[in-house]
Amino acid sequence: MRSIKMTVGGTPIGKSVTWAYPNGQALGLFEIPTYKLTVNGTDAQRRTVTQDFEVFRFGVLCRDGRTASVVGLAKLQTYTIMAWLPNYRVHSARSMENGGWQVHGDFLIHDGPDGPNDEVFASIGCIEIMGPNGFVVFNDLLISLSGPSSASRDEQLVEIGRAKNMTITYQQAKYPPLKKKSR
């Protein structure tokens, strides 16, 4: 199978809203920056393909219902994607785009909001793919770039995860400030 390299930018490209997960809904909404995730690979015709996605990189954590803090991966670091998790479901919002890619521990790549103001998803540092059917589009791209031999889409995603041919690099970034959404 062909390898895929992903890079999460360190400079904000936009902003979105979130709530403090898992116990901070009463704290209201927070504003967080969004970042660019670039996917690089080669298609079946050996052409170089690059595609960008807008993503959540940082999130807001609240365990006690009273205090919130910004969390996520800020240092320059690279990981090999460990596995496809077909049974993963987004916990903080409603989503029909199921599954997730295990990056490191509980840090995943999974579905995010359709747009910065369309839905409110929470995050505690996972890469959340934005855009209508964004996570489906993302996974279709991974299938086309990696070239799995399995017949079904579900089996192809599992095969890609097992191959461990995908890496993700987080560029150095500053933790964004904890910022309440203005009304």
Q: Which residues contact 148 (CB under 8 A, 6 or more apart)?
A: 1, 155, 156, 157, 159, 160, 163
Nearest to 124 by CA among 51, 68, 53: 68
Nearest to 126 by CA among 42, 31, 39, 61: 61
Q: Which residues of the chain have pLDDT under 70?
A: 183
| Run of H or E residues at 153 | helix 153-163
Q: Say if residue 177 is preceded by a cis peptide, omega within 30 of 0.
A: no
Cα–Cα dist 132/149, whole Å = 28
Task: State residue 100's pLDDT score.
Answer: 97
β strands within the chain, DSSP E: 4-8, 14-22, 24-42, 48-56, 58-62, 69-72, 77-80, 83-85, 100-104, 107-111, 127-129, 166-170
Question: If DSSP codes are grouped into helix, strand and coil, which group holds residue 84?
Answer: strand
CB contact at 8 A, 146 and 1:
yes
Cα–Cα dist 134/137, whole Å = 5
Q: Specify the pTM.
A: 0.95
CB contact at 8 A, 85 and 106:
no
Task: State residue 176's pLDDT score.
Answer: 97
Question: If DSSP codes are grouped into helix, strand and coil, which group holds residue 110?
Answer: strand
